[in-house]
Each structure stands twice: as structure tokens, then as C-alpha cells.
Structure 1
Amino acid sequence: MKTEFSIRDLASEFGVTARTLRFYEQKGLLNPGRKGASRVYSLADRARLVLILRGKRVGFSLDEIREMLDLEAITTRDPSALSDTLERFNERIAALHSQREDIDAAIEELEAGRIWLEDRLANREPSEEIKHRARAFEALATARMNVWTGASPEPGSHETQS
């Protein structure tokens, strides 16, 4: 098993640029060794990079990620600092659960839309449930577009009806 990695190795493996890895080093997230002018990353650096990228995917800032990665500092802090860190973890977990619910709902609506389109392409009349969901999706999309564009609801739309 490989125990040392070049900047090119890690950039290629994780689909990031060498510039990204140097930026993470500048921010104190990675600390590669040196062989002459070349950076040499250890297994620990590689593991940290996995956690950095995962943290970024779920919405943590680089400062939050650095704090989480600095396990020694976390374990030696006073209890109030640990409580603050725990609170940030709990807030992020709650936000991710909310995002998951939104994503699940969006997938469900897109699948209903796909079924409707497939039925239309096959010249079949969609079920009443699919028609209802399509109308609900259209009303929701129109309402969101109106909010984003500042447009008024169209007469006869669901928003103007009680």
C-alpha cells in the first residue's frame, strides 16, 4: 500500500486541482512534508483530504472543517468550546436532514413528472393522481418563479383563488 503521495497523485485521485491542495495547505488543513521543492503527502494527509472534501460537500466552511480536523485541540479545550462545537455539529445535522427532505420531495415530484411525460409520449392518458401532482407542481413552480422575478400571479392561477 502506498504511504506517500505527490500533489499530482492526490489531485488526480480526488478530482481537485493542485491549486486547491496548495490552498488547503495555506489554510492549515493539510501539512505535507517536503522532498526538496516537492510536496509529499502522507496517508494522514490523504485521510484529512477525504474529510475536507466530505465536509465541503455537506456545507461546512473551511474554518469549521479545520476545527473538526484538529482533534487534539478539540480534546484539550475547555467545556464551553466543546459545547459550541457540538452545537455547530447539531445545527449542520439539522440542516442536512432538512435538505434531504427537500431533495426527497423534489425527486418524488420529478419522478411523477417523468411518468406523466412517458405516458404522454406513449399516447396514454396519465392517471388522475399524476395529473393532480403535475398541476400541484406547476402551481408551486409558478409561485416560486413569481417570487424570484417579482411578477404578479396571473389571473385564474391557484394563487389568486381562495
Structure 2
Amino acid sequence: MAPQTFTISDLAREFDLTTRAIRFYEDVGLLAPTRSGPGGRQRVYTPRDRARLLLTLRAKRLGLSLTEAKEILDMYDSPRDTVLQLQRFLGVLGAHRAQLESRQAELQANLDEVREQEKKTRATLAKALKAKAG
């Protein structure tokens, strides 16, 4: 029985992506399909490529860059020590979490400032309406 393979259209449909996006992931080294057909024009993706695409999209949802995603995926392709791989992954995730927490703190400060300005503006408006009516 031949191993399961996927076309670029199969993956595009499954993951709701454009074929252009998948070709881009290939260009940055996240995917490495084999080629078939006349002149090697047709891309043939393996279950490994499909899994790498799934993990790439998960990394993007986590907010990791494609470079970070590739580095992490490539670590798992190498025969290196799993402990080192997991430590590196935790380091990337920790740095990213710190960035998100910093942005969250900035957004919270901005939100607090907007709320305070709304409160002051409502009070000023109430005074203006009272003065106008009286």
C-alpha cells in the first residue's frame, strides 16, 4: 500500500489557506514536498509535510514568527537530545509570553486612561448641559 500523499490543493482546502500561502511556507523552508509529473511541476506533500503545516499554523496562532516556528520544527527533525529541544521551546514560549504580557499591560494602561477621559468628559458634559439649561 502506497503512503498517503497530498496535493497543494488538498492542503489548501483542509487548512483553509491559499496555495500561494503554502508555496510561501515552502519557500521559507517549513515544507519540503517532493515533485512529480512532467518537469517536476506537481508538488507531492507527505503526512510529515501536513503535520509541519499544522504545527506552523499552531505556532502562528501562538504569535510566533515563521522563523521561530521553523527553528522549533527543525529541532524535532534532528536526532539531538530531546531535553535540549524542549528547553529551547520553553525559552521561545517564555520570551513570547513576556512580550504578550508587556503588550497586555500597555493595553490595560491605555484602556484605563480612556475610561478616565470618558469619566471626565461625561462630568464636563453634565456641567455644560446643566449650565445651558439653567
* Common topology (TM > 0.5): yes
| TM tier, smaller | 0.5 to 0.7
Q: Deviations over 1:118-156 (max 9, x none)?
A: xxxxxxxxxxxxxxxxxxxxxx6881696xxxx9x4162
Amino acid at match of 1:52: T
What is the CA RMSD across the aligned residues, in angstroms? 3.7
Counting only pairs closer than 5 Å after superposition, residues 122-161 of structure 1 correspond to structure 2 as 143=114, 153-154=120-121, 156=123
Q: Which runs of 5+ in 2 are unaligned?
A: 106-110, 125-134
| TM-score, scaled relative to structure 1 | 0.54
Question: 1:90: how far off?
Answer: 1.7
1:59 partnered with 2:63: yes
Amino acid at match of 1:75: R
Amino acid at match of 2:48: A
CA distance in 2, matches of 1:42, 1:155: 61
Q: Deviations over 1:39-92 (max 9, x none)?
A: 00000000000000111111000000000100245837xx7x986654222223
Q: Which runs of 5+ in 1 are unaligned?
A: 103-139, 158-162
Amino acid at match of 1:156: A
Structure number with the higher helix fraction is 2
Would you say how many aligned residue pairs link Structure 1 and Structure 2? 110
Q: Which of the pair has the greater relative contact order for Cα pairs under 8 Å at 6+ separation? A: 2
